[in-house]
């Protein structure tokens, strides 16, 4: 095993580099690349099927264009990819499930996953729509794969505004309503 101190003696942290860690990093990166490819394929199929990002928002939520049937189907398809035993675990009441786990994760974890995954897909599809719109408007070239800095900034400022609006307590020397108003003005000023 090589210690970082042997390579960079001026460093104050000296983590251990080893074959086992290296193998796990390699497996992880292989999984990430594979997941990226699968995500691209799923997004391509959503687009080809006529889905919009708003179709991946719960039919009971504001801004959704999903039907109950469509949203339920998407969640069912997501859950069908879970390990054996998850469905049965999730059908138990929290009390009956107790400390039972599947694949090292409890009922609460598995119960949240369909909504979490569909939310991630919705975000990725929305990003893809923004990129496509920027390409169509000539703002970005045909080979663009990321949103423009402006689109990203608008999205992040929107998240900050939402966080401030939902905060029960937020310590600041500035009036919170003024801060939110100024952030909204910043969003509007971005082209």
Q: For the segment 31-80, what is each residue's pLDDT rounded down to a tens digit?
A: 999 999 999 999 999 999 999 999 999 999 999 999 999 999 999 999 99
What was the pLDDT predicted at 12? Answer: 77
- The whole-number pLDDT of residue 13 equals 81
In this prediction, residue 118 carries a pLDDT of: 97
Distance of CA 173 to the CA centre of its chain: 32
* pLDDT number for residue 173: 93
Give the residue ranges of the chain where pLDDT is below 70: 1-11
Q: Is 71 left (phi over 0), alpha (psi -120 to 50) or beta?
A: alpha
Question: Residue 3 corresponds to which tokens in the numbers above?
Answer: 């210690």
Q: Residue 135: how many CB atoms within 10 A of its CB?
A: 14
Nearest to 59 by CA among 46, 74, 45: 74
What residues form DSSP beta bridges with 3?
16
Q: What pLDDT is stored for residue 110 in this prediction?
A: 97
Can you tell me the distance from the alpha carbon of 109 to that of 119, in angstroms, rounded to the nearest whole number? 15
Note the pTM of the prediction, 2 decimals.
0.78
Closest CA to 151 of 175, 169, 135: 135
Contact 108, 94 (CB under 8 A): yes
**Per-residue confidence (pLDDT) for residue 7, from 0 to 100:** 58
Biggest CA pair distance of the chain: 61
């Amino acid at each position: 095993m090589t210690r970082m101190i042997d390579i960079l003696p001026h460093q104050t942290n000296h983590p251990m580099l080893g074959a086992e860690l290296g193998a796990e990093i390699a497996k992880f990166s292989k999984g990430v690349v594979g997941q990226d490819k699968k995500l691209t394929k799923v997004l391509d199929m959503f687009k080809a099927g006529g889905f919009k990002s708003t179709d991946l928002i719960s039919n009971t939520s504001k801004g959704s264009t999903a039907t109950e049937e469509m949203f339920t189907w998407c969640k069912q398809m997501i859950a069908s990819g879970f390990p054996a035993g998850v469905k049965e675990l999730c059908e138990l009441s929290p009390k009956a499930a107790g400390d039972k786990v599947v694949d090292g994760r409890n009922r609460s974890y598995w119960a949240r996953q369909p909504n979490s995954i569909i939310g991630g897909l919705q975000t990725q599809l929305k990003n893809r729509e923004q990129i496509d719109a920027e390409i169509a408007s000539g703002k970005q070239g045909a080979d663009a794969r990321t949103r423009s800095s402006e689109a990203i900034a608008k999205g992040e400022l929107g998240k900050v505004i939402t966080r401030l609006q939902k905060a029960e307590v937020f310590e600041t020397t500035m009036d919170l309503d003024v801060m939110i108003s100024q952030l909204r003005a910043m969003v509007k000023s971005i082209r």
